Structure formats: C-alpha cells, structure tokens
Amino acid sequence: MTAGTAALLCGLGSYLLGSVPFAFLIGLAKGIDIRTTGSKNIGATNLSRAAGRSWGLTAFSLDFLKGLLAVGAGRVVASAFPSESDSRMALLPLAAGAAAILGHVFPIYLRFRGGKGVATTFGVMLGLSPIATVVAGAIWLGLYFATRTVSIASLGAAAALPILVALLDQGRPGNGDRWVLVVTIGLAALIFIRHRANIVRLLHGEELRFAARKREEAP
C-alpha cells in the first residue's frame, strides 16, 4: 500500500468515525429521538436535557474520543511511512482530526445533519496542542459555571483557542505548526457558524441556561 492510499483511507476512516452520532444513538436507546425534542440538535447538551446529565456527559466523552482517536490514527499511519516527505506526512494527524470533525458536523449516517462539533474539536486539539486545549477547557468551565449557559462557554473557548495555540505553540518542534494554527482558526469559525442560532438567542436574551432534566415523580 502506498503512503497516499494509506493517508486517504485514514482520512475516510476518520470521517466515518466522526460521523457516528453517539448522542443520537444513546437517545434512541433511551427511547428518545433527540432530533424532535429541545433544540433538536444531536449533540450532548440536547441529550443532557432530554435524558439526563450523566448520559450527556457520556455522549460528550465519546464525541471527544472520536477526535482524539482520529489524530492518533493519523500519527500511526504517518509513522508507518518514515521515508515519505516529512512536511507532507506531518499534516496527516491534522487532516485526520479535521475529517473527524467534519464527520460529526456533517454525518453521512444522518443525511449530513450533525452536531456543533465542540466536543470532537476539543478531542482533536488535545491531540495536536494539549497545553492550549487544557487552558481553553478551563476557560469553558469558568464561563459555564459563571453563566450556566453552554453556548457562551463553547463560544468563549472557541474564540480563545486560536489565540492560545498562537501563544503557546510558538517554536514547538514539528513541520505542521503553522497549519495547526490555520486549521484551529477554521475550526473556531465553524463552531461560531454552527452556533449562529444560539448567538441570535443570546443577542435577544432568549438563550436558555442549562438545567438537568428533573425526574418525574410517581403519582
């Protein structure tokens, strides 16, 4: 197998992995179609509201792992072809991670109607730029606990992530550094685009704060 074929298969596999709609599948297992309830989004936050916080955290973790595993797969494939151009193969983990995010946002299994990509993006970025991602995660948590609004936390962390990558990854060894920053800017923009309805609600003061679903008491 040539390096080009291996890279293509890695990208395709990463996209198909990213397309697995874990929150949607967990919802179905609980008897809930999250496409028809709440925000109708197939992400972890909507699942949390529909099925409970623990299930939402489970879906978030699985979506996060999709991104992290895609980056890892890219590194494994790249290391299998050490004689190839370093500059080209160094980009494979980045390309595989981006493919996983696109799979989550535009899943082939759900007619390309997917989630907003926050969890998978953080998984990818942890594999590519761990220090910047940990700091961005801390920003997410701080904003969430300050506002109890997931969209504000997600948008704030997404806006901070490219800045953190630029500040903390300067001079880091590796030929793909510049492209990591370029792709991070693109991913942050994608998150903002996917949150455009949330932004409109925030501007009108209509965005709901997150609250775990209350259990129904038996009569």
Q: pLDDT by residue (tens digit) across 130-176?
A: 999 999 999 999 999 999 898 999 999 999 999 999 888 755 544 45
User: What mean pLDDT comes out for the span 37-53?
Assistant: 87
Instruction: For residue 85, give its domain range.
Output: 3-203
Task: Report which of 217, 215, 195, 219 is spatially closest to residue 207, judged by C-alpha positions.
Answer: 195
pLDDT, position 215: 39
Residue 151 lies in a domain: yes
Residue 189 lies in a domain: yes
Residues in the chain: 219
* Domains of the chain: total: 1
For residues 198, 200, 202 and 205, what is the CA-based torsion angle, rounded to 10 degrees? -130
Residue 211 lies in a domain: no
Q: Which two tokens stand for residue 19?
A: 């397309």
Residue 212 lies in a domain: no
Residue 216 has pLDDT above 50, yes or no: no
Determine the Cα–Cα distance for residues 210 and 102; give it in Å rounded to an integer.
26
User: What mean pLDDT comes out for the span 200-213?
Assistant: 74
pLDDT-derived band at 120, boundaries 50, 70, 90: very high
Residue 76 lies in a domain: yes
8-22, 34-48, 57-71, 159-173: lowest mean pLDDT where?
Answer: 159-173
Residue 136 lies in a domain: yes
Per-residue pLDDT of 55-107, as tens digits, reads 999 999 999 999 999 999 999 998 887 765 556 677 899 999 999 999 999 99
pLDDT, position 125: 94
* Share above pLDDT 70 across residues of the chain, in percent, rounded to a whole number: 89
Contacts by residues 181-190 (CB-CB < 8 Å, ≥ 24 positions apart) = 183/94, 183/98, 184/125, 184/129, 187/98, 187/101, 187/117, 187/121, 187/124, 187/125, 187/158, 187/161, 188/158, 188/159, 188/161, 188/162, 190/101, 190/105, 190/117, 190/121
Residue 219 lies in a domain: no
Q: Which residue blocks in the chain are alpha helix, DSSP H? A: 3-19, 22-29, 44-51, 53-79, 86-89, 92-105, 118-128, 130-147, 150-168, 177-194, 196-203
pLDDT, position 49: 85
Residue 181 lies in a domain: yes
Q: Give the end-to-end CA distance of the chain in Å, rounded to a whole number.
A: 64
User: What mean pLDDT comes out for the span 20-47?
Assistant: 90
Given a contact cutoff of 8 angstroms between Cβ atoms, the answer to whether 120 and 86 are in contact is no
User: What mean pLDDT comes out for the span 163-192?
Assistant: 80
Angle at 119 between CA 18 and CA 160, to 5 degrees: 130
Average pLDDT, the chain: 87
Residue type, 176: G
pLDDT, position 211: 53
Determine the Cα–Cα distance for residues 202 and 12; give it in Å rounded to an integer.
36
